[in-house]
């Protein structure tokens, strides 16, 4: 099921999430190995985090590895390609 299709996405409620996007039914987005952003910094903003800029920092609150996060596309504000933030030196996991 793993495909290393890492994404950052934001929902209409303002939550930023990170995970490995996998196929799901039409009209939805689904992630495994997911986390919710606890915050990011470093002056490069979200694009800096997504590309792994050395000055960027991010805190992730990880969901259980077996949990799948599914949301309707109508609740998604944006989706951005990302490096694997679990391997990024600027990541703190809680």
Name the residue ranges covered by the structural domains of the chain.
Answer: 6-93
Q: What span, in angstroms and rounded, lies between the C-alpha atoms of 45 and 54?
A: 12
Residue range 5-51, pLDDT digits in tens: 999 999 999 899 999 999 999 999 999 999 999 877 877 788 889 99
Fold type of domain 6-93: SH3 type barrels. (2.30.30)
Quote the Cα angle for 86-7-74, to 5°.
140
Write down the residue that tokens 């391997």 correspond to.
87
- Please state the pTM of the whole predicted model: 0.88
Sign of the alpha-carbon dihedral angle for 50, 91, 21, 15: negative
Q: What is the pLDDT of residue 1?
A: 47
The pLDDT of residue 65 is: 85
Q: What is the CA radius of gyration of the chain?
A: 13
CB-based contacts of 81, cutoff 8 Å, min separation 6: 6, 7, 50
Mean pLDDT of the chain: 91
């Amino acid at each position: 099921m793993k495909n290393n299709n890492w994404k950052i996405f934001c929902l209409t409620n303002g939550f930023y999430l990170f995970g490995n996007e996998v196929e799901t039914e039409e009209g939805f987005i689904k992630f495994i190995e997911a986390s919710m952003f606890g915050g990011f910094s470093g002056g490069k903003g979200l694009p800096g985090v997504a590309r792994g800029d050395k000055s960027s920092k991010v805190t992730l609150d990880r969901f259980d590895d077996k949990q799948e996060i599914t949301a309707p596309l109508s609740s998604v504000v944006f989706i951005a390609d990302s490096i694997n933030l679990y391997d990024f030196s600027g990541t703190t996991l809680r």
